[in-house]
Structure formats: C-alpha cells, structure tokens
Amino acid sequence: MKHYNKFYINGTWVPSDSTSIKEVINPTTQEVIAQVSLGSKSDVDQAVIAARNAFASWSQTSREERLAVLDRIIEVYKTRLEDMAQAITSEMGAAISMSRSAQSPIGMLHFITARDVLADFSFENEQGGSHIVKEPIGVCGFITPWNWPMNQIACKVAPALACGCTIVLKPSEMTPLSAQLFAEILHEAGVPTGVFNMVYGDGPEVGSAISSHPDIDMVSLTGSTRAGVQVSKAAADNIKRVSLELGGKSPFVILDDADFEGAVRWGAKQCFRNVGQSCNAPTRMLVPAALHDQAVQVVKETALNTRVGDPRSEETDIGPLSNALQFDKVNGMIQSAIDAGNELIVGGTGRPDGLDKGYFIRPTAFANVRNDSTIAQEEVFGPVLTIIPYSNEEEAIQIANDTPYGLAAYIESGSLERARSVARKMRAGTVYLNRNDFDPRAPFGGYKQSGNGREWGEFGFHDFLEIKGIVGYQ
C-alpha cells in the first residue's frame, strides 16, 4: 500500500503533521490501495508563503525562460505517460484504453498547447498614447476534481506557469496517485523552487483555506455548482478573482437531415464514455418526434453492446464509477427517475450481470422524457441518457437552452451551414458540430450555473493576467 503523507512545498516533499488520513479505494476491487494525509490551514499557509516568495522572481522571467521550463515538463511527462495511465485506472476506474488514449496524454497536451500559445502571445501593445501591459496576477490557488484528474490539473497549471504565476494546488483526495506523479514530473523538470506547490486535503479544510486565503490572488475550481458557490463566498472577503468550471446537462440536438442512426449511436457512446463522469457529456439527446422510436432502438442496442468490466482489460469500454458516493448517488437518481414514471428502455439500478463487487453500473437510458423532469434537469454524473422528442427546430433550440447549465452543446446536421446557424443560438460555452468533440485551443467553460471564466488555449491565459495601462507612455 502506498502512503501519501508528504506535501510538495517549496521544492521539496514536506512531511505532514496531519493526523487526518483518507483511504484511497480502488473502485474496481473496493480494496484500499493507498492512504493520503489530509492537510490543514497551516499546510496551506506554508505553501502560500513559498509561492508568494517565488512570485517575485518567477513573474519577472522572460518568455524564453518560461518556454524552456515548459519544454522540460513536456519531455519528462512523455516518459511517464504509461505510469500516469496505470495510476488513473487504479484510482478512479477509467478503462485502460481510455487512460492511455485520453486521460493520461491530455495533461501533456495542455502543456504543449500552453507552450505554443506562449511562444506568440502578446503581453504588451500600444493603444493611442498608452502602453498596455498584461502581467501575471500573482499566487493562484487551484482546486481540482477526480473525474479527469490530469486534464483539470494541467489545464490550470500549464497556462499559469506560462503567464508567470505561482501555484498552490489541492488535487482531489480521491486521486492522489496521479497528482503525486504530476508533482514528480514538475520536480524532475526543474520547475523553480516555490513556483509549484501541492497540498492534499478535502474541500472543507484545504479547499476553504485556499479560497479564503488573503495572499492568494485568484482561485480556480473545477467541481460541482454547489462547490462553486462555496468557493465564491469564501473568496469574496478578499475580492480575489474566481474562475469556475462547474456542472453541465449538455444537449445533443440531432436535426432531421442528419445521418440519424450514426448520430444516435455516437451520442450514446459519448454519454456513456468515462462512465458518464464528464461535466460536458451529452446527456440529453434531442431527436425529431417522428424518429424517436428509431432512436430508442439504436440507443438500446448501443447500451447493451457497451462492455462494462475490469478497466485493466483492453476489451473493456467502461469501468466502474469512481467511488462509493457516486455509486449510491447514480443508482438513487435512476431509481427516482423510474419512480417518477419515466420510461426506462435499458439499464437500471445495480451492477451488470456477472459483476458482484466494484462500483459498476449499467449504461442506462430513458425515452420520451419531458425536459422539465428531474432526470433531464439535474446532473447525474453517470452513464444515464435521456431521449427527448421535439416537433421542429425552434422547439429543439428552446429545449436545449431550457436548463440551468450551459457548459456544452452538440449539434448534428447534414448541412454544416444549418449546424452553424443552430450553434449560434445555443446558450453554452462550447458547441460541438457534427461529432467534432475536442479542440485544445478552443475555449472551455460555461454559461449560467456552469461557471465563469474560460480555460484551454489562448483563452486559458486570460484569468492569470492583470491588465495595466501606462498612460502617457509615448
């Protein structure tokens, strides 16, 4: 068993004085695979002092110096890709094929993207007789989740480093294996002392200490909408900048001129991917009413052909949900939807046949769902799809936008121009057209209760910069 009882502070691994320990459970076997120390406010204080001291020099480094650091991180990360994939599969249950193709390399990809953006980014320009300067905001506090551990850490850390900021990270206490590897990568790459710091802990203690700390200049959270509210309130007393990437209930609008069967099958797979534990998953499938029954058959077939099992096997499509709380929550929401009279067409509560342990769950779908029902409005964060019929394009757009969230939307049409037109009417931070589902340089973030601020690519730099106008410069 591994013991994560040291925090990375000021360039070294510092023993924790914490007596609070959390067991890390492998969601496949339900066995304890590690223990992690949960830090305290005093641990955060130490990390902030280190970051504040390092900011004075790191913020003044040249573009070339920061590019060199990012290049070294990328090179070291390449050597740890398989280690990272294995860690993520062990701690949160992602299928190893997905860990290798997406969960692990996406962290490196964010560093590659940040490096490319930094190479050409304009930190200074003239406007009239004034000189406009974009300067690093200061010490940044990051609070990240367990569902895409490297994606959420790297998409914050990479641009922050590129902009000249220093960092205090609280990774999820449920996924310390990957976070530990990440800190080791940055250490081996020679990130200067104090520039990157990491403290394990839970939200009420370490997360709250980061959010409210007077010497942290901005805080960025990826998590639930409830957590976003708490972080915003804690940060308010210090008037610090807050960036939030929160929940979603993303629509997939399949228009009547689409390759219908292909679109439905793709949408169901996207919903079930990562066991539904993606904030931008297309969990509401909107289909023409005349084609609803056809969609039901394709979704049912896709769900039954989704291979649920041991995530260490290359034959597995999806592994277990990541933890016991998720297992209970998702099963509870499925049962509540059934009790409310929603039409269950595949899946349901409980483990798939043949699996008697682990947090496994069956891919599930409901048909003829009303958009005002709980299962269509609340984020499940599991492989649960709702199929919603619509009568015309106008109604489809109205239903798609009728949600408290606005993180993502998906459009499928045989006409790119039509897809573009509908995309402009979506109240969502990212709209994906015709099965294009990823671009590391496109902005990622949400409207409404899905958060504020944007991550990824050039847009990921903006939250880490202050803007200074020097009037009379000329």
Q: How far apart are the first and last CA of the chain?
A: 63
* Residue 159, φ and ψ in degrees, nearest 5: -70, -30
Q: How far apart are CA 330 and CA 321, in angstroms?
A: 9
Q: From 363, 254, 277, 284, select the one nearest 316 (Cα to Cα).
A: 363
HEC string of 308-338 equals ECCCCCCCCCECCCCCHHHHHHHHHHHHHHH
Kindly tell me the burial class for residue 325, based on how many C-beta atoms sit within 10 Å of its own C-beta (0-12, 13-18, 19 or more).
Answer: exposed
What are the two backbone dihedrals, phi and then psi, of residue 116, each rounded to the nearest 5 degrees?
Answer: -65, -40
Cα–Cα nearest to 4, from 170, 208, 173, 164: 173
Kindly give the pairing relationship between strand 251-254 and strand 408-412: parallel
What lies within 8 Å, CB to CB, of 64 at 6+ separation is none
Taking the C-alpha atoms of residue 166 and residue 60, their distance in angstroms, rounded to an integer, is 12
Closest of 21, 23, 30 to residue 327, by C-alpha:
30
- How far is residue 344's CA from residue 180's CA, in Å, rounded to a whole number? 41
Contacts of 90 (CB under 8 A, 6+ apart): 26, 33, 177
Report the C-alpha gap between 290 and 304 in whole angstroms: 24
Residues comprising the chain, all counted? 474
Look up 245 and say whether it is catalytic. Answer: yes
Active-site residue, selected from the candidate residues 91, 245, 412, 458? 245
**Neighbouring C-beta atoms of residue 442, cutoff 10 Å:** 16
Instruction: Determine contact, residues 172/326, Cβ cutoff 8 Å.
Output: no
Question: Cα separations (Å) of 209 from 6, 201, 212, 214, 457?
Answer: 18, 10, 5, 10, 29
- Residue 333: HSE in the Cβ half-sphere, 13 Å Cα cutoff: 23
Sequence-separated contacts (24+) of 71-75 with Cβ below 8 Å? 71/115, 72/189, 72/190, 73/111, 73/185, 73/186, 73/189, 73/191, 74/108, 74/111, 74/112, 74/115, 75/189
Among all residues, which ones are annotated catalytic?
245
